[in-house]
Amino acid sequence: MSRLARKAEILKLARVLGVGEADLAYLHGSDAESIRSFREQASARLFDADESRLKRVAAASKLLPIPLIALIAEHVFGDVLCARVAGLIAPDRAADLAQRLRVGFLADVTLEIDPRHVREVIKRIPVARIVEVGLELARRGEFVTLARFVDYVSADAIKAVMEKLTDNAALLHIAFFVEDKTRLNELVGFLPETRLREIIFLAADESQDLWAEALALMNYVSPEWRKRLGELAATLDDGIVSSMARSAQAQNLWSAVLPIVGVMSGAHQQRLLKLPILGDETVLDSIVKTVDMDHLWNELIPLVPMMQPEQQRRLANLPRLRESRVLEAVLKATDVNGMWNQLLPLVGLMDEDAQQKLALAAEKLSDGAFGRVFEAVQAGRTWAPLLVLLLRMREDVRMRIAPLVKKLSPESARLIAQEAGRLGVLDRLESLWDSLAKLR
């Protein structure tokens, strides 16, 4: 997700500085918040310059009637000067002036204006006028500018623009750039379900290349809306979700997909996980790579039990999941999120090398974490994967765990003994933990 937010911020900064996106390629390692902060500073630097001179122009305008100012504004001052003066004249007069300018010229002015300076003016402009300018800007493809105004325009005006703006791709582009993401919940609520479906179908048309924008929107909205939009996509045919997965793979968007899948119902998650593309080892590796980079283990691990056995086996044996740093991150996230019963079953699907690497990483778990592992497994009553891991650990680590074994219930001790017998390791376990024999 951070990648999409950064992309949006780079495009917005490029717009402020009047350069191309490619000219700011060196910002691809920066975080979105820093780029946004810099953009605001740069905008203020540009917009606040020459204020004293512009105040004199604004003061002079008081002497003239509005119709004459409108004429001068359009034919003499031009868009840049009008944009800079707009916030310095009385809001009522400025709004009156906005009513008298041609729509095309008002759109030109809007492109140059800093909405923070004309908040009071915007409030006074009738909805019909805002719709006209909004549609003109959308026609020109000025989505960054439209998005900047979303924070300042009334809900009624936005709703009216959205009703008239039938271009769903434009809506997705605008949503991608909106500054105050919390506003998106309200905006999505203005759209009837048929239109939401149309938007998802549009995103799935890969010739349009809009999945990044659609996924960004689904991530920015509240968890309730995310669930609703995600499930809406999931209820459409498999082609839609396959298209989403293909785009996620091609454009490295898994960090945007996983939180959406995470809030879907179990049935939808299962359906999604059955898609052939998600059984592909390269795709699974991309997902794990993204999850590792963006710390999304808490999104991925709950999905593991719903995967197909072959999918689980491929995941569990990925080379990336043999690196000690990655495994330690997996174990930490599993512990913090209480997901031991979701993770441990993978142990039985791992080859010996993968099991050994996981055991080595698990040796570093704290006593507290081991305690939570035992509690979880005791509740889940499936001991085999844990026993396999424990038997691969160094003896001193197993001795460290002995006090936890002493605290087990007799029933758990019996279950352990059963599993250990099945694995042919009961003697080894009982010689290590004499309390196990006593308990059962």
Partner 1 sequence: MARSDFELLARELGGDPPETFHALPADGLASLTAALRAARARQKKQLDEALTKALEHVPALMRLPVRKVLGL
Interface residue list for partner 1 (CB under 8 A) = 16-19, 23-24, 26-27, 29-31, 33-34, 37-38, 41-42, 45-46, 49-50, 52-54, 56-57, 60, 72, 76-78, 80-81, 84
Residue 343: alpha-carbon gap to chain centroid: 24
User: At 88, is the secondary structure helix, strand, or coil?
Assistant: coil
Minimum CB distance to partner 1 smaller for 81 or for 423:
81
Minimum CB distance to partner 1 smaller for 93 or for 320:
93
* Backbone torsion region of residue 307, taken as left when φ is above 0, otherwise alpha when ψ lies between -120 and 50, otherwise beta: beta
**What gap in Å lies between CA 405 and CA 415, rounded to an integer?**
12
Long-range pairs, 309-315, Cβ under 8 A, ≥24: 309/349, 310/279, 311/273, 311/278, 311/279, 311/284, 312/345, 312/346, 312/349, 313/349, 314/279, 314/281, 314/284, 315/284, 315/288, 315/346
Minimum CB distance to partner 1 smaller for 37 or for 308:
37
User: At 305, is the secondary structure helix, strand, or coil?
Assistant: helix
Minimum CB distance to partner 1 smaller for 73 or for 234:
73
Minimum CB distance to partner 1 smaller for 61 or for 286:
61
Least distance to partner 1, CB of residue 71, Å: 10
Least distance to partner 1, CB of residue 349, Å: 41
Least distance to partner 1, CB of residue 49, Å: 7
**What gap in Å lies between CA 233 and CA 182, rounded to an integer?**
21
Least distance to partner 1, CB of residue 45, Å: 5
Minimum CB distance to partner 1 smaller for 38 or for 201:
38
**What gap in Å lies between CA 420 and CA 351, rounded to an integer?**
19
Least distance to partner 1, CB of residue 106, Å: 16
Minimum CB distance to partner 1 smaller for 10 or for 278:
10
Cα end-to-end span (Å), the chain: 51
Least distance to partner 1, CB of residue 76, Å: 5
Minimum CB distance to partner 1 smaller for 42 or for 437:
42
Minimum CB distance to partner 1 smaller for 30 or for 356:
30
Least distance to partner 1, CB of residue 47, Å: 9
Minimum CB distance to partner 1 smaller for 85 or for 284:
85
Least distance to partner 1, CB of residue 74, Å: 12
Least distance to partner 1, CB of residue 134, Å: 25
What values do phi and psi take at 190, rounded to 5?
-75, -15
Which of 9, 43, 14, 54 minimizes the C-alpha distance to 29?
9
Least distance to partner 1, CB of residue 52, Å: 7
**What gap in Å lies between CA 437 and CA 421, rounded to an integer?**
13
What values do phi and psi take at 26, rounded to 5?
-65, -10
> In this structure, what token pair is assigned to residue 250?
């091609």
DSSP secondary structure string for all residues of 218-282: HHHS-HHHHHHHHHHHHHS-HHHHHHHHHHHHHHT-HHHHHHHHHTS-HHHHHHHHTSGGGG-HH
